[in-house]
Structures are given as structure tokens and as C-alpha cells.
């Protein structure tokens, strides 16, 4: 089965997941992103790479931050950006996902940036576009269910490379709600593809998916043991609704055992960096002293995120 996000020349046609993406493509995205970080420093923060192109932000699940960063990235490449918050418009009127896509395709879209609550929705859209001979429309997955958030994974790799240079000597720990996290899956895929020798996941058994070790990670339930000598700590967001079911007893107990505090961080290497995809729940998964402390690179992640999204858009549809 051909990887559905590559065209027959092996080039990136859509960005749907990092799973199965060749290392060369990941590296190319990071290399392409590097000069884009300087665009933000200029007086005129614009490049003409997507001039005349229409980028549709198709958000079937609400999000402010991710949508905004995609919007900024597209605008810095001179694209026209149309934001559609579909959870509150057509689907409630009974229009199907693919009908929405067909209608927007007819408006001469060049790119769909898709967020959806169901895993795999961007695959459905890209397969449909290819079947409808609309191959010129590119799809970027901006987060689908629990499955993938590839641009987040890529910006995290950019951040790690920026601070740590060489992936092949690192120990990286991903902490928290891996079960529901599309971010964690994309991070794991990216880290293992880039040759990180040890990727750890840390969390209670209720928040780790079945057979997670088959993704190429070491599993820890004890956070102190899991953080020992790591170079990178990647915290995950814990959604408030997880407290409602029987996954966790309380946010207090979670914080005590799996929240990142200065004390637990001491187990990591002295030059360890701390990352978080945002938005943070201070006092739930991360202590403010760490979030605002010297190890945190959480705000640079956001800045790099725009450059990385510019790089992906430019590689997919650049003039």
C-alpha cells in the first residue's frame, strides 16, 4: 500500500501523519523552516511563495491557537486565508464532511488545513480529493482525534534540533496522557524516525494505550525513574474531562505523581529542555516554577511552530 501522503515520485502531497514519513522528508521540512524563522524579524514579514493561493482552515473542532498559527504561517507566505469553523455551521445543518469538501473545492481551494475530532478524517478527505481528481489540493492534518498532529510533531523536532543538535544521542521522555494524545503519537513517530535511541513514555496505566511499546518506546509508570538522565522532557496536556470518567481520581493526585515539578526535573540532565504543546494546565501537568523556569522552551516552540508550518505549506504548494 502506497503511503497516501506521498505522490508517485515520493514527494510530499499531503501532510497527514509522521508515521511512515521518510527521514529525508522530515529533515527537509526542518531545513526549509530554518530561514523562515528570520522572516518574523523583518519589517515586512512576507514571502511570496504562496501568492495567489487560497488556504482554507477547516476546523471541525474548535481551536484558537493552532488555527491562528496556521493563519499566520499562510499569510506570511502571502496566501489568502479563509477560516471555517465548521463545528458551528454546516455539519449542524446536516451537510456531510465530504459535501463540505466538495463545495470548498469548487471555490478553487489550493490547500485544506483540517482539524477534526475523528481519527483519520484528513485521510478520508485526501483520498476523496484524489478520487475526485482534485490532486492539486493539498491537505494538512492539523490534528485528528487521537491519531496525529504532524505539524506539532515537526515543530517539536525543530525545537529539539535547535537546542540539542544531534538526535542520535538523546534520551527523550513524553509524560502524561499518551492515550488520548495525537501530539504524543506524532512525537513518537518523529523521534524514532530521526534516530533517537531512547524514547520513553511516562504515565499511569489508564493513560497509556494498549501495546504502546510496539511504537518503539520504553514504558515507565514511575516518573522519577522515567526522567532519570533525560535530555528532553515533553509534557502533554491533560484535558479536564479526563477527570470525569474513571481514568484518574483527581487532578491533585495526578499532579503529585505525574506533574512536572522542579524536584522531579532534577532527575533529568542538568541541561535538559522542557517542552509543552500548549495550552498548559499549570498545577495539573506542570508546575509554574518549571513552566517559567530556565529549562522551559515552551514559547520558542510557538515561534518555531510558525516557521515549520510555513515550511510545510511551501513544500506542498510553494510557487
Partner 1 sequence: MKIHVKNGHLIDPANGIDAPRDLFIAAGRIAGIGAVPEGFSANRIIDASGLVVCPGLIDLSARLREPGFEYRATLESEMAAAVAGGVTSLACPPDTDPPLDEPGLVEMLKHRARHPNFAHVYPVGALTLGLAGERLTEMAELHEAGCVAFGQANTPVVDTQVLMRALQYAATFDFPVWLQAQDPYLGKGGVAHDGEVATRLGLPGIPVSAETIALATLMHLARDTGVRIHITRISGAAALEMIVAARAGGIKVSCDVSINHLHLSETDIGYFNPHAHLVPPLRAARDRDALRRGLAEGSINAVCSDHAPVDDDAKQVPFAEAEPGATGLELLLPLTLKWAVEMKLPLGRALARITCDAAGILGIEAGTLSVGATADVCIFDPRGSIKVSRETLKSQGKNTPFLGLEVPGRVRYTLLDGHMVFENGRP
Binding interface with partner 1 (CB under 8 A): 1, 4, 19, 96-98, 116, 118-121, 123-124, 127-128, 144-148, 182, 185, 209-212, 214-215
**How far, in Å, are 51, 106, 159, 304 from residue 38 at the CA level?**
19, 35, 15, 10
Minimal distance, residue 274 CB to partner 1, in Å? 25
- Cα gap 181→107, rounded to integer Å: 33
- Cα gap 191→172, rounded to integer Å: 8
Q: Scanning the structure block, which residue is given the C-alpha cell 482525534?
A: 145
Of 124 and 243, nearer to partner 1 (C-beta) is 124
Minimal distance, residue 309 CB to partner 1, in Å? 21
How does DSSP classify residue 174? E
Minimal distance, residue 147 CB to partner 1, in Å? 3
Of 37 and 186, nearer to partner 1 (C-beta) is 186
Minimal distance, residue 306 CB to partner 1, in Å? 25
* Secondary element (H or E) of residue 140: strand 138-144
Minimal distance, residue 117 CB to partner 1, in Å? 9
Secondary structure (3-state) at 3: coil
Minimal distance, residue 255 CB to partner 1, in Å? 25
Minimal distance, residue 148 CB to partner 1, in Å? 7
3-state helix, strand, coil in the chain (%, to 5): 45, 15, 40
Of 5 and 54, nearer to partner 1 (C-beta) is 5
Residue 272, C-beta contacts closer than 8 angstroms, at least 6 positions apart: 230, 231, 232, 233, 265, 295
- Cα gap 144→185, rounded to integer Å: 11
Of 37 and 189, nearer to partner 1 (C-beta) is 189
First-residue to last-residue Cα distance in the chain: 30
- Cα gap 252→121, rounded to integer Å: 35
What residues are paired with 220 via a beta bridge? 202
Minimal distance, residue 214 CB to partner 1, in Å? 5
How does DSSP classify residue 276? -
Of 144 and 287, nearer to partner 1 (C-beta) is 144
Strand extents, DSSP E, 229-297 = 232-235, 273-275
Of 122 and 259, nearer to partner 1 (C-beta) is 122
- Cα gap 180→22, rounded to integer Å: 25
Of 54 and 181, nearer to partner 1 (C-beta) is 181
Of 85 and 119, nearer to partner 1 (C-beta) is 119
Amino acid at each position: 500500500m502506497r503511503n497516501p501522503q506521498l505522490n508517485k515520485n515520493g514527494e510530499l502531497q499531503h501532510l497527514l501523519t509522521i508515521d511512515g514519513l521518510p527521514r529525508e522528508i522530515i529533515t527537509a521540512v526542518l531545513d526549509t523552516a530554518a530561514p523562515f524563522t528570520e522572516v518574523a524579524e523583518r519589517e515586512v514579514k512576507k514571502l511570496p511563495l504562496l501568492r495567489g493561493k487560497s488556504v482554507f482552515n477547516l476546523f471541525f473542532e474548535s481551536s484558537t491557537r493552532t488555527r491562528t498559527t496556521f493563519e499566520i504561517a499562510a499569510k506570511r507566505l502571502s496566501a489568502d486565508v479563509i477560516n471555517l469553523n465548521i463545528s458551528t455551521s454546516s455539519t449542524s445543518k446536516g451537510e456531510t464532511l465530504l459535501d463540505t469538501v466538495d463545495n470548498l473545492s469548487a471555490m478553487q481551494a489550493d490547500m485544506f488545513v483540517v482539524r477534526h475530532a475523528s481519527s483519520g478524517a484528513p485521510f478520508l478527505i485526501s483520498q476523496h480529493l484524489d478520487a475526485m481528481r482534485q490532486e492539486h489540493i493539498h491537505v494538512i492534518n492539523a490534528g485528528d482525534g487521537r491519531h496525529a498532529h504532524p505539524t506539532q510533531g515537526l515543530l517539536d523536532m525543530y525545537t529539539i534540533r535547535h537546542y540539542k543538535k544531534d538526535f542520535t544521542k538523546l534520551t527523550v521522555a513524553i509524560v502524561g496522557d499518551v492515550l488520548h494524545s495525537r501530539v504524543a503519537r506524532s512525537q513518537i513517530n518523529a523521534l524514532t524516525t530521526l534516530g533517537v535511541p531512547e524514547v520513553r513514555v511516562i504515565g499511569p496505566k489508564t493513560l497509556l494505550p494498549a501495546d504502546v511499546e510496539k511504537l518503539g518506546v520504553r514504558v515507565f509508570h514511575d516518573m522519577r525513574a522515567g526522567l532519570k538522565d533525560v535530555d528532553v522532557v515533553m509534557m502533554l496536556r491533560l484535558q479536564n474531562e479526563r477527570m470525569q470518567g474513571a481514568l484518574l481520581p483527581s487532578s491533585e493526585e495526578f499532579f503529585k505523581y505525574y506533574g512536572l515539578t522542579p524536584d522531579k526535573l532534577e532527575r533529568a540532565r542538568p541541561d535538559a529542555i522542557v517542552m509543552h504543546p500548549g495550552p498548559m494546565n499549570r498545577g495539573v501537568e506542570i508546575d509554574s516554577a518549571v513552566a517559567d523556569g530556565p529549562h522551559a522552551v515552551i514559547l520558542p516552540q510557538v515561534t518555531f511552530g510558525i516557521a515549520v508550518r510555513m515550511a510545510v505549506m511551501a513544500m506542498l504548494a510553494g510557487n
